[in-house]
Amino acid sequence: MADRFDVWTKQSIKFHNLEAARLALQDDDLLDPFFAAWIQKLDAVDAAREIKCSTAFARELPTHGVNVLMIGESGAGKSTLVKVMTGNEHIVVSATHAGTSCDTRYRSPCKINWVDTPGFKLPVSPEDATLNQQSTMSKWKDSFLWRRWLARIRSLLTAGDLSVRPSTVIYCHRASSRIVPERMLEVFQIVHELQVPLILAATDVCGIDDNDLKAVRTALQGLVHSLGPNGLNRVPSYIEINSESKTVRGHQHKVTGVKGLIEAVLNSLDPNYALQFLTRPWLYYGSARPPRGSAPLVTDGDVLIGDDEEEEEEGKAVAGRRRGEGRGGGERQRGGARSEGRERRERREGKREERVVGEASERQRRGEGREKE
C-alpha cells in the first residue's frame, strides 16, 4: 500500500474518497519512503566534508514520528477533526465548551502524531478594544495571556525535542466565529517565518449561509495570500471542512474536506526540511541537540557551511576557554585577563596624564595673558 501512496516521488497525492485516506493512515509503511528520503538527505550532508554540521538531531525524526500540531480557538473543532481522521471514538468533543485541557497526542499506525491542544480566545485588536471602551486592566490581561500563548507556540516550533516539535501546523477556525485578522496573522507569521508548513482549516462551514461563507472565504484566503511563500517557497493551504454529517435548516450536509486535509498534511511533508534540523556541534559544547527554544540553524533551505578553518579553530578555542581546559588553560586565561587589565589601566593613566598636561598648559597661557595686560 505504501508504494501507491508515495507522495515524495510524485508532485501530489490524491485519494478517491475519505475511506481510502483513513485506510492510508492505518498503513504502518506509509511514511517509510519519506523517512528513507529524509535519511538520504542527511547522508548526503555527512558525505560532504565542507559542510561542518551535525545530522544527529535530525536523524531522530523516524524514531519519534511526524507531529501535526492542531491549534485554534476553543470550540473550533480540533478534537472533532482528529476523531474523524483517526477513527478514535474515545476522543472527547464538545461544541459548547473546551473539550481539551492539555496537549494530547493521538498516534496513527503510519507514525503521524496528531497533537490536539487546548483552545484559546483571540483578543480583539487594540483599536476595537478602545472603541468598545475596554478597561485598562482587561486589556492588559488579554495582552499578557495572548503574548504568553504566542511564546508557547514559538517554543513548540523550535523545541530541541523531536517528540514534541511539529512538522506541520493546522490552524482551525470555525466559520461562524469572528475573524480578527491582526491576531490571526500574528500566529501565522510565527509559523511561516520558521518555515513550518501551515494549513488553515475553516471548519463547520455548513453552519453559515452561502453569502456569509463567501465573505469568510474571502477574508481567510486574503490572510493566506498576504503571507506569500516562505523561505522554502511554500505557501499555506486553505481548506473548508464539514467534519460531521448534520442537518441544518432542513438540509442534509455530508462530511466534506477531511479527505483534502489528510492529503494536505501528507503533501506538506518534505525531506528537504531535514536541513532545518542541522546543528553545529561545537556551538553547543559537543552536543548535536540544539537548546530548547532555539531557532533552526539552517534557513531558506540552505546548508550552513563554515567560512574557513580559522573560524572553526576560533570556535573551538572559545569553547575550550569556557569549559576550562586544565590548569594551563586557566593560567593562560588569567594571564590574558591580567594583560587586558594592565592595558585598560595604562589607557586610563595615559588619558589622565594628557588631561593634567592640558590643564597645566591652559593655566600657563592664562598666566601669560595676565602678564601682558
pLDDT digits (tens, 9 = 90+) for 6-41: 555 555 789 999 999 999 999 999 999 999 999 999
Strand order in the sheet with 66-72: 104-107, 112-116, 66-72, 168-174, 198-203, 237-241
pLDDT (average), residues 76-81: 91
The more confident residue out of 283 and 74 is 74
- Whether the per-residue pLDDT at 286 is higher than 60: the answer is no
Question: Nearest 5°: phi and psi at 177?
Answer: -85, 160
- pLDDT tens digit sequence for 97-131: 555 678 899 999 999 999 999 988 898 877 776 66
pLDDT at 207: 86
pLDDT at 112: 96
pLDDT at 288: 42
Give how far the C-alpha of residue 53 lies from the chain's centroid of Cα atoms, to the nearest Å.
Answer: 21
Q: Tell me if 112 sits within 8 A of 22, measured CB to CB.
A: no
pLDDT-derived band at 360, boundaries 50, 70, 90: low
The more confident residue out of 10 and 181 is 181
pLDDT at 128: 72
pLDDT at 8: 56
pLDDT, averaged across the chain: 78
pLDDT at 178: 92
pLDDT-derived band at 301, boundaries 50, 70, 90: very low
Question: Nearest 5°: phi and psi at 236?
Answer: -65, 155
pLDDT (average), residues 132-143: 81
pLDDT at 61: 95
pLDDT at 262: 96
Listed ranges 135-149, 157-171, 291-305, 321-335; the one with the highest mean pLDDT: 157-171
> Which grid cell sits at 60?
531522530
Q: Tell me if 192 sits within 8 A of 198, measured CB to CB.
A: yes
The residue type of 132 is N
The vertex-172 CA angle with 158 and 221, nearest 5°, equals: 100
pLDDT at 287: 40
pLDDT at 124: 80
CA distance 355 to 16: 87
The residue type of 139 is K
pLDDT-derived band at 95, boundaries 50, 70, 90: low
